[in-house]
Amino acid sequence: MVYDVAIIGAGVTGAMTARELSRYELSVCVIEKESDVAMGASKANSGIVHAGFDAKSGTLKARFNVEGSLMMEKITKELGVKYKRNGSMVLAFREEERDVLLELYERGIRNGVGGLEIINGERIRELEENVSDKALYALHAKTGAIVCPYELTIAAMGHAMDNGVELFLESRVLDISCDNGAFEVETTKGTIKARYIINAAGLYADKISRMVGDDSFEITPRKGEYLLLDKELCGLVGHTIFKVPTKMGKGVLVSPTVDGNILLGPTSEDIYDKEDTQTTRVGIEKIINSAAECVKNIPFGSVITSFTGLRATTKNGDFLITAPKPNFLNLAGIDSPGLTAAPAIAVHVSNMLKDMGLELVEKKDYTSTRKIYQVEKSRYNKMVCRCEKVSEGKIIEAIHTNPKAITVDAIKRRTRSGMGRCQGGFCMPSVVSILARELGIDVCEVRKSGGDSRIVVGKKE
C-alpha cells in the first residue's frame, strides 16, 4: 500500500504530528528505529512547559512555544496525562543580572506571554523557602508548567494509533527514493511507500534530509545530564528554578516533576557522537555545584538515578521547518522549547501539508480519548512494584494498550514500575515474567530495551 503520510521518528514532534493527522481521513504511519516511542530527547529532557520568554521574538521557537504553551493544558487533559502549572522563576544573583531579567520580561511581553513579574529576594523566599539567600531578584512566570515528556509522547502516539495510525518500531530508515510521485522508504524491516514524508528524526534529521538530496543543515547533539532525587524530597521547591540563561541554554534547573520527584539538570555540552548518552563524573559534579547555588539544603545522597539527553541543535539556534523537496517536510532542530512547541508544530504541519495539496477531511469515527486495554479488576490489587505501588493490572494494561510496551524499560516509562527508589531491584523479575507471559515469548527473550538487551542469558542447567 501507499501511505498518505509517513512520519520518520516517534519523538514528541512525530507523535504529536501523527495525532494531529489522525483526525483526518488519511493513512498515516510512523517509522521509528528504536524499540519504543520517545527514545531520544523526548525521553530525557526537563519536562518543562516553558512560558515563552526565552526565545528571540520573531523566531519559530517564540511563536510555537507560546502557542504550544497555551494548548498544553487541554491536550494533556484529553490524553489523560499529568500536567501541573507550577510556575517558574529565573534567579538573578548580581545587580547587573537584573537587566537580563528585564530583557527576558520585555521579550516575554513581546512574545505574548502572560503572567510575568519581576520579584525581589523577600518575595522569592516567600514563595520558595529553599531558594538561595543570595538570589536578589527573579523573573516569576506564572504560566510555566511541567509535564512528563515521555508520558505525553506515549499518550499522543497511543491516541494516534487508536485512530488508525500505524507504528513501525525497530525500523531504521536506510534510504529514501522517489518513484512516480511516491516516496519509497527503505528500512531495516522492509520498504514503506508514502506520498508525503515528515522528517521528525531528531538527531538524525540531517541524515534523513540528505537522503532526498538536501544537505543544507547539520544537527549537533547537545548533551544534557540530569540527576533525579527521591520522592521523599517532594516539596523542596514548587516552582521550576532557573538561573539567568547563557549562550548554551537555560542552564541547570531545579524542578519538581509531575510524579513528585525533584529533577536537577541539564548540563549543556556540544558533542559529536549522536549515541553518547553516557553520564559523566564531571557532568554530575557540575549539576551538583550548580543546583546548590540556586537551592539550599539539597540532600545529594537522595539521588536515585542519573540520565543523559541529547538535544538536536542547529547552527542558527531556531527550529528548522522547511520543505526542501515537494511533499517532503523537515521538522529539524526541535530542541528546547520543543516539548512545549510540539502541539503547535503539529497543527502548523497539517496546514503546510494542506497547502502542498493534501486533502484533509475530518474522520467521522475519530475517538477523542485513548482506548485503554481492559484488565480484570482484581489484577489492580496485586502489587508488583512496591516503591511506586504499581499493580499487575497496570503492567498488563501497558503491554496491550497503544503504543504497546514490549520491553522492561517501556513498561517502566508507562507504569513507573522500577522507577522508584529501589530502581527495579524487587519488581524486575516479576515484570520479566509478566512480559514473557503476555507477549507469549520465552523469559530469555525478554529485553530491557532495544537491540540485544536481554535481561537473562539462559536457563540454569
Partner 1 sequence: MQTKDLVIIGGGPAGMAAAVSAYGKGIRDLLIIERDESLGGILQQCIHNGFGLHMFKEELTGPEYAWRYEKMILDLGIPFKLNSMVVDISKDKVITYVNEEEGEVKIKAKAIILAMGCRERSRGALNIPGTRPAGIYTAGTAQKFINMMGLMVGRQVVILGSGDIGLIMARRMTLEGASVKAVCEIMPYSSGLARNIVQCLDDFNIPLKLGHTVTKIHGKDRLEGVTISKVDENRRPIPGTEEYTECDTLLLSVGLIPENELTKGMGIELDGSTRGAVVDQNRETSLEGVFSCGNVLHVHDLVDYVSEEAYIAGEAAARYIKGERVKNNNISVTASDNVSYVVPQRITSDKEKVKIYFRTKNELDNVQIIVSDCENVVYKAKRRKTKPGEMEYVTMAEDVLNNIKGNEISLKVIGE
Interface residues toward partner 1, by CB under 8 A: 227-228, 232, 275, 277-281, 283-284, 301, 303-307, 378-379, 381-383, 386-387, 389, 421-426, 428-429, 433, 443-444, 447-461
Burial 65-76 (b: 16+ CB within 10 A, else e): bbbbbbbbbebb
Distance CA 231, CA 229 (A): 7
Is the preceding omega at residue 403 within 30 degrees of 0, hence cis? Answer: yes
* Number of Cβ atoms within 10 Å of the Cβ of 257: 23
Minimum CB separation of residue 42 from partner 1 in Å reads 16
Minimum CB separation of residue 315 from partner 1 in Å reads 28
Where are the extended beta strands (E) located within 121-250?
A: 137-141, 145-147, 166-168, 173-179, 182-187, 190-199, 220-229, 240-243
Apex 204 CA angle, 181 and 284, nearest 5:
160
Minimum CB separation of residue 456 from partner 1 in Å reads 4
Closer residue to partner 1 in complex, CB, 109/444: 444
Burial of 458 (0-12, 13-18, 19+ CB in 10 A): exposed
Residues in the chain: 461
What DSSP element (H or E) covers 89? Answer: strand 88-92
Closer residue to partner 1 in complex, CB, 300/373: 300
Burial 173-201 (b: 16+ CB within 10 A, else e): beebeeeeeebebbbeeeebebbbbbbbb
Minimum CB separation of residue 210 from partner 1 in Å reads 24
Minimum CB separation of residue 383 from partner 1 in Å reads 4
Q: Could you confirm whether 50 is annotated as catalytic?
A: yes
Closer residue to partner 1 in complex, CB, 132/423: 423
Residue 96, CA distances (Å) to 102, 244, 431 in order? 10, 11, 54
Minimum CB separation of residue 219 from partner 1 in Å reads 20
Closer residue to partner 1 in complex, CB, 121/429: 429
The C-alpha R_g of the chain, in whole angstroms, comes to 22
Catalytic residue among 50, 140, 159, 239: 50
Residue 209, CA distances (Å) to 117, 203, 276, 363 in order? 42, 12, 22, 31
Minimum CB separation of residue 257 from partner 1 in Å reads 15
Closer residue to partner 1 in complex, CB, 117/376: 376
Closer residue to partner 1 in complex, CB, 235/451: 451
Distance CA 15, CA 285 (A): 34
Residue 161, CA distances (Å) to 19, 29, 308, 407 in order? 8, 9, 28, 19
Count CA within 13 A, CB hemisphere, residue 79: 30
Closer residue to partner 1 in complex, CB, 165/406: 406
Do 222 and 271 meet the contact criterion of CB atoms below 8 Å apart?
Answer: yes
Residues labelled as active-site residues? 50
